[in-house]
């Protein structure tokens, strides 16, 4: 009796320790942010770096409040978000389609890889001005810039994910007379989804870069424009606000995809457990 | 005797130290280009070295140039006048000590088929502009204001620095351009039949409407307090190099070939420029007046146009056009009226939201040659 009570107590203690560990793990990013904020405060308080280059957090907070109050931050953020959304849709869509085709027909890889690698190995800033000329000065050129930058990780992960599907399972499906669509829906898509979603996580953060590069090259609206405009007006706190907003958007999008991944792959966790 | 020898050696060492060139970066904007030829002449011609500077040139974005000078990470930078006003209003204590461009380099390019002799006819047209910032936007605001128009009267299209391409694609009716450079490119495309319906372009420059302060050299207030001699020597060296580039464009182009990778050249062209440069040196030795020197530039342009293809001459013609923006009797001098005109423009743009203080503190002519002591 005493033995079982001791075991139960040990289990409770272990669970409590594990819960505490989880809480600490969850709080650690917050602690990192707080630490960075403290270092920033310390640097600006002692003017170790000129406030022209590193403004005090209070000034950045005031600029944030102003940009929020006059609606400019929201307006520019929505522009960037819109370009990112359509760019992701286009780039991920094309990346999935071509990636799947290459995975199923390796000859396509030989045909397409020189173009794809050449396109990917050239920095986006080098040909972004050309995209502006080809697709005009409106949002289309920014959407295409975003699509181009998110295309490659999607493509690579799609190829890797689809090719990683077990040939034995494919044989089983075929022996059961499964059609192409059934194989895709019931086997390839679920089996490749961990790699596909990992690619989508990378693409979601790259989408911010794509949209902002487009906005830098042809600044009209969006957070890239806000940075350029603030920089040209020597409003360093507003530059910080814009950059931090971009970071927040990228993190939020990454977290959103991670959440989708967690939800969608619950079957996998269960099977692994 | 031994002491005297040691003393002499010490004196020699000290004098060597005192004239040894200090390493200095001059921060420029854009990319290496023939328009920066006075700086190349300053380096290769030994003007900076003579003034005690071992100069390297770096190219950055304009706000970066200004901030690096403001925080003392560089002593000398080249920016446009409006940047000085905007930056001073945001607490950057920089001082403009040498006006390099005496005329504002921005203007409006439009198809010759359009009649824009009266600028108010711009109303309703699509005007391309790199973006709502910098010298181009100040130029557009000034042109509109001088025509009694506002931005609401036209359709502003932000096109980045792609004016020749976008203009020739027919997406805009007119473009805000750098008058020394882009109209030449558009004209060349038009003459090659590569510019849609455009056969030729006309340009109305901002300088023809209002005298706005333009590009020049800045230093920090701290440098002026600690080493005013450095500012004086640098302004003197830049002035001398600028004068040489203005007076001998063939020589300035040849010097630029050492610094700008993609400048058009051919053996015949270089040989002709070398000969022209030698002839110009002999001509300048006779102390001709400014008008005669201006005529000599025009004669050279005509002689070269008769011998070489337009594509080979484009950058040389850019240099000649730019010289017209630099030329003045007193190089480096800027006056309060041009600063006030610029402040008024920035006010119109709604860009001045900080405490600018006294505008006269933004610039000084104190360090120009002839103001020694």
Give residue B309's Cα distance to chain centre.
26
Residues 86-145 of A with CB under 8 A from B: 129, 132-133, 136-137
Q: How far apart are CA A181 and CA A128, in angstroms?
A: 38
Bridge partner list, B79: B216
Render pLDDT for B313-332 as a digit per residue (tens, 0 to 9): 999 999 999 999 999 999 99
B252 contacts B245 by C-beta, under 8 angstroms: yes
Residues 25-64 of B with CB under 8 A from A: 61-63
Q: What are phi and psi of B94, to 5 degrees?
A: -110, 155
Q: Do A232 and B86 touch (CB under 8 A)?
A: yes
Q: How far apart are CA A127 and CA B79, in angstroms?
A: 27
Judge whether residue B124 has pLDDT over 70: yes
Helices A189-217 and A223-232: crossing angle in degrees, nearest 10, is 30
DSSP state of B315: H
Q: Do A234 and B66 touch (CB under 8 A)?
A: yes
On whether any CB of chain A is under 8 Å from the CB of B103, the answer is no
Q: How far apart are CA B133 and CA B244, in angstroms?
A: 33
Q: Which one of A63, A76, A219, A234 makes the best mutation probe of the B interface by having the most chain B beta carbons within 10 Å?
A: A234
Q: Do B86 and A220 touch (CB under 8 A)?
A: no
pLDDT of the residue at A138: 83
On whether any CB of chain B is under 8 Å from the CB of A72, the answer is no
pLDDT, greater one: B6 or B153: B153
pLDDT of the residue at B160: 78
Bridge partner list, B99: B216, B332
Chain A residues close to B169, C-beta within 8 Å: 133
Q: Which residues contact A156 (CB under 8 A, 6 or more apart)?
A: A99, A199
A137 contacts A219 by C-beta, under 8 angstroms: no
Q: Which one of B62, B133, B136, B138 makes the best mutation probe of the A interface by having the most chain A beta carbons within 10 Å?
A: B133
Give the pair of three-digit tokens for residue B181: 């450079």
On whether any CB of chain A is under 8 Å from the CB of B66, the answer is yes
Chain A residues close to B90, C-beta within 8 Å: 233-236
B70, B89, B165: residue with CB nearest A52: B70
Judge whether residue B84 has pLDDT over 70: yes
B134 contacts B29 by C-beta, under 8 angstroms: no
Unique residue bearing structure tokens 């342009």 = B301
**CA triple B216-B221-B227, angle to 5 deg:** 95
Q: What is the model's pTM? A: 0.81
Chain A residues close to B194, C-beta within 8 Å: none
Decide: residue B307, CB within 10 A, 0-12 exposed, 13-18 middle, 19+ buried: exposed
On whether any CB of chain A is under 8 Å from the CB of B96, the answer is no
Domain limits, chain A: 1-54, 57-272
Q: What is the mean pLDDT of residues B41-59?
A: 97
Q: How many CB atoms sit inside 10 A of residue B125's CB? A: 15
Q: Do B91 and A217 touch (CB under 8 A)?
A: no
Strand B94-99 relative to strand B216-220: parallel, antiparallel, unpaired? Answer: antiparallel
Indicate the pLDDT class of residue B18, thresholds 50, 70 and 90. Answer: very low
pLDDT of the residue at A161: 92
3-state secondary structure of B78: strand
pLDDT, greater one: A63 or A112: A63
Render pLDDT for A141-166 as a digit per residue (tens, 0 to 9): 999 999 999 999 999 999 999 999 98
Q: How many CB atoms sit inside 10 A of residue A102's CB? A: 23
pLDDT of the residue at A2: 62
Indicate the pLDDT class of residue A64, thresholds 50, 70 and 90. Answer: very high
Chain A residues close to B66, C-beta within 8 Å: 234
Give the pair of three-digit tokens for residue B121: 């006819």
Chain B nearest C-alpha distance from A59 (Å): 13
Spell out where chain B has E strands.
22-28, 53-59, 76-79, 94-99, 106-111, 126-129, 155-158, 174-178, 201-205, 216-220
B103 contacts B83 by C-beta, under 8 angstroms: no
Unique residue bearing structure tokens 């002709």 = B272
What does each C-alpha distance from B34 to B39, B249, B254, B317 come to in angstroms?
Answer: 10, 10, 10, 10
Q: Which residues contact B295 (CB under 8 A, 6 or more apart)?
A: none
Chain A residues close to B351, C-beta within 8 Å: 233
CATH number for the domain running over A57-272 = 1.10.3720.10
Indicate the pLDDT class of residue B15, thresholds 50, 70 and 90. Answer: very low
What does each C-alpha distance from B283 to A67, B241, B276, B296, B367 come to in angstroms?
Answer: 61, 18, 10, 9, 30
B63, B70, B89: residue with CB nearest A231: B63
ipTM associated with this complex: 0.72
B66 contacts B79 by C-beta, under 8 angstroms: yes
Unique residue bearing structure tokens 């870069």 = A209
pLDDT, greater one: A113 or A13: A113
Bridge partner list, B94: B220
Sign of CA dihedral B362, B367, B372, B373: positive
What does each C-alpha distance from A36 to A27, A31, A40, A218 come to in angstroms?
Answer: 14, 9, 6, 33
Chain B residues close to A51, C-beta within 8 Å: 91
Beta-carbon contacts below 8 Å between A and B: 64
What does each C-alpha distance from B92 to A28, B12, B203, B302, B337 come to in angstroms?
Answer: 38, 41, 35, 46, 22
Unique residue bearing structure tokens 């310390």 = A42
Q: Which residues contact B354 (CB under 8 A, 6 or more apart)?
A: B89, B90, B91
Indicate the pLDDT class of residue A250, thresholds 50, 70 and 90. Answer: very high
The chain-wide mean pLDDT, for chain B, equals 91
Q: Do A220 and B131 touch (CB under 8 A)?
A: yes
Chain A nearest C-alpha distance from B220 (Å): 13
What does each C-alpha distance from B362 to A232, B84, B95, B216, B232 come to in angstroms?
Answer: 18, 7, 5, 12, 17
Judge whether residue A129 has pLDDT over 60: yes
DSSP state of B130: S
pLDDT of the residue at B355: 81
> What stretch of H or E contains B329?
none
What does each C-alpha distance from B323 to A201, B51, B100, B115, B245 come to in angstroms?
Answer: 54, 24, 10, 28, 8
B66 contacts B200 by C-beta, under 8 angstroms: no
């Amino acid at each position: 009796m005493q033995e079982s009570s001791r075991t139960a107590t040990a289990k409770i203690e272990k669970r409590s320790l594990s819960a505490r560990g989880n809480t600490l793990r969850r709080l650690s990013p917050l602690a990192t942010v707080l630490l960075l904020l403290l270092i920033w405060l310390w640097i600006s308080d002692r003017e170790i770096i000129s406030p022209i280059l590193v403004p005090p957090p209070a000034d950045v907070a005031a600029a944030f409040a102003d940009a929020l109050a006059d609606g400019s931050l929201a307006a520019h953020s929505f522009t960037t978000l819109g370009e990112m959304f359509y760019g992701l849709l286009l780039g991920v869509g094309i990346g999935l389609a071509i990636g799947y085709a290459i995975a199923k027909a390796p000859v396509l890889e030989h045909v397409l890889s020189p173009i794809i690698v050449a396109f990917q190995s050239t920095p986006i800033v080098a040909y972004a001005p050309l995209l502006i000329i080809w697709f005009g000065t409106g949002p289309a050129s920014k959407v295409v810039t975003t699509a181009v930058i998110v295309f490659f990780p999607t493509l690579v992960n799609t190829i890797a994910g689809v090719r990683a599907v077990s040939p034995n399972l494919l044989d089983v499906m075929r022996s059961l007379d499964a059609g192409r669509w059934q194989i895709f829906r019931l086997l390839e898509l679920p089996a490749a989804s961990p790699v596909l979603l990992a690619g989508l996580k990378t693409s979601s953060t790259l989408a911010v870069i794509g949209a902002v590069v487009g906005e830098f090259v042809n600044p009209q609206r969006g957070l890239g424009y806000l940075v350029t405009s603030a920089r040209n007006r020597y409003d360093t706190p507003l530059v910080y606000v814009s950059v931090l907003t971009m970071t927040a958007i990228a993190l939020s999008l990454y977290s959103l995809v991670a959440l989708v991944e967690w939800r969608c792959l619950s079957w996998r966790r269960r099977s692994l457990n | 005797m031994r002491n005297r020898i040691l003393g002499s050696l010490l004196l020699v060492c000290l004098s060597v130290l005192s004239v040894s060139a200090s390493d200095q970066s001059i921060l420029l904007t854009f990319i290496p280009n023939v328009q920066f030829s006075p700086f190349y002449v300053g380096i290769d011609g030994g003007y900076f070295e003579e003034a005690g500077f071992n100069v390297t040139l770096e190219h950055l974005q304009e706000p970066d140039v200004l901030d690096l000078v403001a925080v003392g990470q560089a002593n000398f930078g080249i920016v446009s006048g409006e940047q000085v006003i905007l930056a001073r209003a945001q607490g950057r204590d920089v001082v403009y000590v040498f006006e390099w461009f005496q005329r504002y380099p921005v203007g409006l390019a439009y198809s010759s088929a359009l009649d824009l002799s009266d600028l108010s006819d711009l109303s309703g047209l699509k005007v391309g502009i790199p973006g709502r910032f910098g010298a181009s936007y100040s130029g557009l605001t000034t042109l509109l204001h001088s025509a009694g128009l506002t931005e609401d009267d036209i359709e502003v299209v932000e096109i980045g620095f792609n004016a020749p391409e976008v203009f020739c694609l027919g997406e805009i009716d007119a473009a805000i351009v750098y008058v020394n450079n882009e109209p030449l490119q558009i004209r060349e495309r038009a003459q090659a039949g590569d510019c849609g319906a455009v056969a030729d372009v006309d340009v109305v420059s901002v300088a023809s409407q209002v005298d706005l302060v333009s590009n020049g050299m800045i230093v920090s207030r701290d440098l002026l307090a600690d080493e005013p001699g450095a500012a004086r020597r640098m302004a003197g060296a830049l002035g001398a190099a600028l004068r040489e580039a203005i007076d001998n464009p063939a020589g300035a182009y040849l010097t630029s070939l050492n610094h700008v990778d993609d400048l058009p050249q051919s053996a015949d062209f270089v040989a002709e420029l070398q000969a022209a440069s030698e002839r110009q040196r002999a001509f300048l030795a006779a102390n001709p007046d400014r008008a005669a020197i201006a005529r000599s530039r025009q004669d050279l342009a005509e002689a070269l146009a008769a011998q070489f293809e337009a594509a080979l001459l484009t950058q040389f013609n850019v240099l000649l056009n730019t010289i017209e923006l630099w030329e003045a009797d007193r190089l480096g001098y800027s006056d309060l009226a041009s600063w006030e005109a610029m402040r008024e423009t920035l006010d119109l743009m709604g860009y001045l939201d900080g405490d600018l203080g006294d505008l006269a503190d933004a610039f000084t002519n104190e360090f120009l040659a002839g103001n020694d002591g």
